[in-house]
Amino acid sequence: MEFIIIVLSTFLLSTALFVFWIVKGGFNRKFLYTDNVWLASAASVLNIISYSFIDMPLWLATPFISGFIIILLFTVLFFYRFFRNPHRIIPGDQNDIVSGADGRIIYIKELEKDQIPVTVKKLRIADLSEITKTNILKRPCYLIGIAMTLFDVHVNRSPIDGKIVLVKHTDGTAIGLNTPVSTITNERNTVVIEREDGVIAGVVQIAARGVRRCIIMKKPGDIVERGSIIGKIRWGSQFDMIIPRNCEIKIREGEQVYAGSTIIARLLD
């Protein structure tokens, strides 16, 4: 009976932890049925072993010891998921634009010619006018925002084949995104990629709380392949993509996408 109580309480605590991060951290709901089940099962085994070999009352084993083990395993799981760099198979052909980041689509905006884009996250606005230094806005385009959670892969990839024509780093603060000015003042990187036929795409890394590690591994003049790694964000939060308007959008708001392996749009002839 005591073992059943330990198992049930462990699953309850683990589920509560994942529900919190789904609601507050934007985690994908699938983690509730995958990582949560794995973590709760492993924690239950460790809790039962601890209770069997260490003389302790049930009220101490549950929830205190159980809670400690759950948090410890969750931390290990987080570091594994955050720093992994899985192999990605790049689908489609050169006219298929792939996602530059793992995460959830938070908006798909249509921008008109010469309109300065803004990125909106939970009603906060960040001016991305540095992109106007290129001709990327001389034609209508789409602005697509991707929210990256702590469990997402934080390696970023090129959405198209082409040459890097701009790498612009904007130094800034590292305050929380719950502060209205944060997405204006926080660190970011802007990268613009141009194909030989003149097709242009831009990506923007935006840092989050405590983050000063937006990293671009390429420089102007470098040739990149569609789906190849161009950078990463340490503890990052958001990744914006700017693509031509003459595209058929393949994703929708709220959808989970994966860098290099999710086709977000296809260029029309």
Note the pLDDT tens digit of each residue in 44-65. Answer: 999 888 888 887 787 777 878 8
Contacts of 105 (CB under 8 A, 6+ apart): 144, 145, 146, 251, 252, 253, 254, 255, 256, 257
* pLDDT score of 108 more than 80: yes
> Is residue 211 within 8 Å of residue 236, measured between CB atoms?
yes
* pLDDT score of 93 more than 90: yes
Q: Angle at CA 168, nearest 5°, toward 165 and 171?
A: 175
Give the pLDDT of residue 265.
97
Can 237 be counted among the known catalytic residues?
A: yes
- Out of 44, 66, 182, 237, pick the active-site residue: 237
Residues 109 and 190 in one domain: yes
Q: Would you say residue 209 lies in a domain? A: yes
Q: Would you say residue 124 lies in a domain? A: yes
Give the pLDDT of residue 102.
94
Residues 10 and 143 in one domain: no
Q: Among the three residues 33, 55, 83, which one is the final residue of a domain in this structure?
A: 83
CA distance 262 to 99: 6
What tokens were used for 265? 């749009």
Q: What is the CATH number of the domain that holds 184?
A: 2.70.70.10
The H or E element spanning position 232 is strand 229-233
Residues 77 and 161 in one domain: no
Band (pLDDT 50/70/90 cuts) for residue 130 is: low
Residues 37 and 166 in one domain: no
Give the pLDDT of residue 230.
96
When the pLDDT of each residue in the chain is averaged and rounded to a whole number, the result is 84
> Is residue 29 within 8 Å of residue 20, measured between CB atoms?
no
Q: Would you say residue 89 lies in a domain? A: no
Residues 57 and 180 in one domain: no
Q: Would you say residue 88 lies in a domain? A: no
Please report, to the nearest 10 degrees, the dihedral formed by the alpha carbons of residues 52, 53, 55, 56 taken in order: -50
At 228-251, the pLDDT tens digits run 999 988 765 788 899 999 999 999
pTM for the whole thing? 0.80
Query: How far lies 260's CA from each of 146, 149, 160, 220, in Å?
Result: 14, 17, 10, 21
Considering 32-36, 92-96, 119-123, 205-209, the range whose residues carry the highest mean pLDDT is 92-96
Residues 145 and 174 in one domain: yes
Residues 123 and 221 in one domain: yes
Residues 19 and 68 in one domain: yes
Q: Among the three residues 83, 108, 129, which one is the final residue of a domain in this structure?
A: 83
Give the pLDDT of residue 129.
67
Q: Would you say residue 240 lies in a domain? A: yes
Please give the average per-residue pLDDT across 60-87, as a whole number. Answer: 85
Instruction: Give the domain extent around 16.
Output: 2-83
Q: Among the three residues 22, 55, 83, which one is the final residue of a domain in this structure?
A: 83
Instruction: Provide the percentage of residues in the chain whose pLDDT is more than 90.
Output: 41
Give the pLDDT of residue 182.
52
Q: How many domains does the chain have?
A: 2
At 131-181, the pLDDT tens digits run 655 667 677 889 898 988 878 888 999 999 999 999 988 876 656 555 545
